[in-house]
Structure 1
Amino acid sequence: MSLPDVAELDLATKVGQLFVVGFEGPEPTEDLRELLTDYRCGNVIYFSRNIDSPEQVAELSRELQTIATEAGPEIPLFVTADQEGGVVSRTDWGTEPPSQMSIGAGRDADLARSVGGAVGAELASIGVNFDLTPVLDVNNNPDNPVIGVRSFGEEPELVGDLGAAMADGMQSEGVLACGKHFPGHGDTSADSHHSLPVVDHDRERLDAVELAPFRRAIDAGIDAIMTTHVSFPTITGDDELPATVSRDVQTGLLREQLGFDGLVVTDGMEMNAIADEMGTPEGCVQAVEAGCDLLLVCHTPAVQKDSVEAVIDAVESGRIDESRIDDAVERVLEYKERRGVGQQTPSLDRWEATSDRSREVGREVAAAGITVARDRNETIPFDTGRPLHLVGFPGGRASPAEDDRYEPTLVADALEAGGFDVELHEVETADALPSFEGDEQVVLATYNAAGDDEQVRAVERLDEAVDAFAALVVRNPYDLARFPDVSTAVSTYDYTPATLSVTGEILAGRRRASGRLPVTIAGFEAEN
């Protein structure tokens, strides 16, 4: 398909090509139809709320492409999603990859490339042509509430190498990859969904840590970079200015200093760090002025429409020169053509041809990444011929970016499949623990215990009372800092089906864990 020249497009169509809009439910809403036709929005984003099954997503993608191309110039949509793996996986049918921190624990760039290829092939089969990953943030702050296991780890070189490899694999399947969150969201203790974090390191430190993975990915040819709503006063001179709307960051640093000529994509413009500071419509105008090409407005139809109108008004009033719009649209069209967007028909048959590969690669990642951080008493393997007691605490989303699927029953089911006779005890406090005999086998699955004193008390109590005990750190490896003397600890980094299945095999002794912690845990000495 040959796409039209920018000169052939009217202003409304050009501005529409800059917007990536979300919607509610598994079918096109009337608001979405209006955004794609009357407002000419040229791109969409899927969240878990839009996804039921591979067949449904393939049909949805076909329908949206038809709506968009029949409404005006035949320009196909970027269909985007945050399919990072682990706790940010928009699909929920068993093929989602483990978290990036699990890949980091395995430290294998070839495996990262395989993950990118498998995810890219599966997404392409259901009509998703733009994956908003890899996460290139260096997670060196254990109190970070939004990145954590979404990152490959705390070593800039490792993060850059694995991120570049994952992007290469994804792009080899015709799906755009997008490194995020530039210039770095790893060393923050606030979540930009809720407020404006500040990273106030000097330029030497930023070059060595935060910027290094982005430079590596850019040099390797990544298609897109996503901005972050974090303040970098060393670059901007203003500790209240989000990087997304800073020309010093997006044009001066990213374009001119780092030499990036791909797509610059904003993070969600309805996040509080933008919405509360300047409002989403004004934020979109400022992001275009700063040098961004694609604007994510993901949730509210009225805000989406106001934002499109605000950018059009800014051009018509002379605030934004139309050449800035043309530059962004040329880049959007270039990448739609380069990656063959809209040229393949999504289908269930195509998905079925990719799903086995996704599952197998997921198991390879889990086997390489799951970490037996300590096993002083050689508790592992547990005896499958005896009952295994599993104690589980409830989970929940640590950030609005995450999907909320964790339940202790997921762990119990995986251990049952691994050959154990499991008795599950779901509790919310340490005082609710059953009374176990010293010779019983007990596993306690922690979930964000770093912020939960009850889970910490439960681990300490069981480790003292039971000989065959292990703490299974299901999500956040920083939990280990809260019980640094525990006798046996296993870190899984996520609760995807692949990860929990392999965990069951490791605890049963049928597979050996080989991962190493990719982050430093204060006060905890790993013994693997």
Structure 2
Amino acid sequence: MKKLIPTLLVLLFVVLSCDKKQTVNKSSENTERTKWVDSIYNTMTLKERVGQLFMIAAYSNKDQQHTDDLNKIIKEHGIGGLVFFQGGPVRQAKQTNLYQATSKVPLLIAMDAEWGLNMRLDSTARFPYNMTLGAVQDNDLVMKVGEKIGEHCSRLGVHINFAPVVDINTNSKNPIIGVRSFSEDKYNVTEKALAYTEGMQSQNVLACAKHFPGHGDTDKDSHKTLPTVTLSKERIDSVEMYPYKKLFKNNMAGVMVGHLNVPSLEKNDGLPSSLSHEIVTNILKGRLQFKGLIFTDALEMKGVSTFKEPGDVDLAAFKAGNDVLLMGEDVSKGISKIVEAYDNKEVTEERLAHSVKKILASKFDVDLNNFKPIEIENLISDLNDETNDVLNEAVFIDAITALKNDNILPLKKDANEKIAFVGLGDGDSAAFLNALKSHFEVDGFSDLKLPELLIKLKTYDKVILGYHRLNSRLTKKISDEDKLKIEEIAKSNKVVLDVFASQYSLENLDFENIEAAVISYENTDIAQKVSAEIIIGNKDTKGKLSASLNENFIAGTGIEILE
């Protein structure tokens, strides 16, 4: 069989398997760790201790005023860390070095890098979305993705990755989770999350499972409003919390609590889960016995920010049991409110020390007790070596899923047939079409109205329909126009449908007249090239649907083409 990148694949796995850094999970009884934590804590003022609870947003694509403002906040309020968003790696590294030099206590640096640094930064590698990883049958590949992402975070001076998402996406209309979830199946989510976490934490980067107690069965976006989870507490315990229970037994470093209204768990209807003492302290810390860092989701999100005034939200989140307060609307007010509550004996010294010492211990665990500035030289090349593409290719080889094949695939090069390609959707299809053309003659068609297209295709033996979505994260159904084209072409032609988008996009499609259907999940050049290799028989399909697209093609569906 032909291989796209032959020897590098073996080399990558050898290197990744051997080049392990020290894991983040160290014994809580570590004397050196305890001494360092106590030495820092005992020299801090009350305001400085409270400041450690806060992490605020940082951007490396903003102007000097943004940098100056952050430096001022770090100096005046002694915050515990930063969450970086949009920008570039060199700019972020330079800013991180500046902020670390300003801070009295080393800062924890965090990012949302669920599918790699590219989720936020230019000039960096992107790895497959969780829903694509959910289709993979070899969980060792998922571990290697986590490992590679951890390697990149570590190189950039990022200590916490707010990943993996362990929400179980049982609602196909979920507007915010979707392909960020590994699957609709709790066992698959758990297996993938365990593998991803093991890989990432092997690189001394803290993982953070989110969004507790479960954002998968919602149809609202907590950035914009407070979603309600109508599930029973028995269902939440057996399904939504299942991954957390397993992860907690395997050294998960952190958990992020979502902004959700969960009436079955919190009797005060409308109280966000992130502000619920019952959910954060009694359930997460008490019943589930989680000992790691507990983060709120961003406190500026509408799912929580409309509940209380700035400052009051931060205090409520801390009283609920959270350790780290992310991105409040006013850090100064938040610190003042918690200091005032401490002075009024609403917050005890024991409660404050519990969270602050956990934060300092995490800083020790990621070697911030021996902070060294990030090396700028070779940063871009280190983050973009050839092993990224090799790993991406290996994932797509294992993930791409065949749903149907009525003796049409693989297409035979010597069959002397006329083959047409029709590109649909708003995404680029060039890599796919060029890969097909490198094996046999294919005539490409695009931008034709349906009547004209049907006439043109009458003279062809087989038609390959490629649905290419510009934004593979979108889970909305394909357009009525594209749906009609697929179904009408399939009525009068032998059709191979290859979908470079979420399987959810095909929820409303009639497959009856389609001879072969392949889900390639994402519209990347690598996915397109691997899928072309599958269509011509140089590779087989191994993947299984991570989530159902309709009652005929449910989670776990997937067939081999080469039998």
Distance 2:90 2:133 in 1: 29
* Cα deviations by residue, 1:188-213 (Å, 9 ceiling, x for unpaired): 11111121112222222112100000
Contact 2:117 2:125 in 1 (8 A): no
Distance 2:422 2:245 in 1: 44
Residue 508 of structure 2 corresponds to which residue in structure 1? 482
Match of 1:5 among 40, 44, 52: 40
474-483 or 384-393: which moved more? Answer: 384-393
Unaligned runs of 5+ in 1: 395-407
Q: Does 1:216 align with 2:246?
A: yes
Residue 146 of structure 1 corresponds to which residue in structure 2? 176
Instruction: Note the aligned Cα RMSD (angstroms).
Output: 3.1
Contact 1:506 1:513 in 2 (8 A): yes
Distance 2:476 2:489 in 1: 15
Distance 2:491 2:445 in 1: 20
Residue 50 of structure 1 corresponds to which residue in structure 2? 87
Q: Secondary structure at the match of 2:256?
A: strand
Contact 1:196 1:272 in 2 (8 A): yes
Pairing 1:78-227 to 2, within 5 Å after superposition: 78-85=108-115, 89-93=119-123, 95-227=125-257
Q: TM-score, normalised by structure 1?
A: 0.85
Query: RCO higher in 1 or 2 (8 Å CA, sep ≥ 6)?
Result: 1
Q: Percent identity?
A: 26
149-158 or 503-512: which moved more? Answer: 503-512
Unaligned runs of 5+ in 2: 1-32, 470-474
Q: Secondary structure at the match of 1:106?
A: coil
Residue 533 of structure 2 corresponds to which residue in structure 1? 505
229-238 or 358-367: which moved more? Answer: 358-367
Distance 1:287 1:176 in 2: 22
> Which amino acid in 2 is paired with 1:503?
S
Residue 445 of structure 1 corresponds to which residue in structure 2? 467
Q: Secondary structure at the match of 1:56?
A: helix
Residue 67 of structure 1 corresponds to which residue in structure 2? 102
416-425 or 122-131: which moved more? Answer: 416-425
* Cα deviations by residue, 1:333-388 (Å, 9 ceiling, x for unpaired): 10110121363543353664564333322222221112122233525548699886
Q: Secondary structure at the match of 1:518?
A: coil
327-336 or 504-513: which moved more? Answer: 504-513
> Which amino acid in 2 is paired with 1:393?
G
Distance 1:30 1:422 in 2: 57
Q: CA deviation at 1:457?
A: 2.6
Match of 1:34 among 67, 72, 85: 72
Q: CA deviation at 1:159?
A: 1.2
Decide whether aligned partners of structure 1 residues 527 and 293 sit closer, same or farther in structure 2, where only a CA change above 3 A counts. closer
> Which amino acid in 1 is paired with 2:208?
C
> Which amino acid in 1 is paired with 2:45?
D
Runs of 4 or more above 6 Å deviation: 382-387, 429-435
Q: CA deviation at 1:412?
A: 2.4
Distance 1:274 1:433 in 2: 51
Q: Secondary structure at the match of 1:137?
A: coil
Distance 1:388 1:495 in 2: 20
Q: Does 1:262 align with 2:292?
A: yes
Q: Does 1:520 align with 2:548?
A: yes
Q: CA deviation at 1:521?
A: 2.6
Contact 1:185 1:228 in 2 (8 A): yes
Distance 1:91 1:496 in 2: 17
Decide whether aligned partners of structure 1 residues 434 and 86 sit closer, same or farther in structure 2, where only a CA change above 3 A counts. farther
> Which amino acid in 2 is paired with 1:184?
G
Q: CA deviation at 1:418?
A: 6.5
Residue 29 of structure 2 corresponds to which residue in structure 1? none
Pairing 1:180-329 to 2, within 5 Å after superposition: 180-297=210-327, 303-329=330-356
The aligned length equals 501
Contact 1:138 1:152 in 2 (8 A): yes
Match of 1:457 among 470, 473, 484: 484
Contact 1:82 1:133 in 2 (8 A): yes
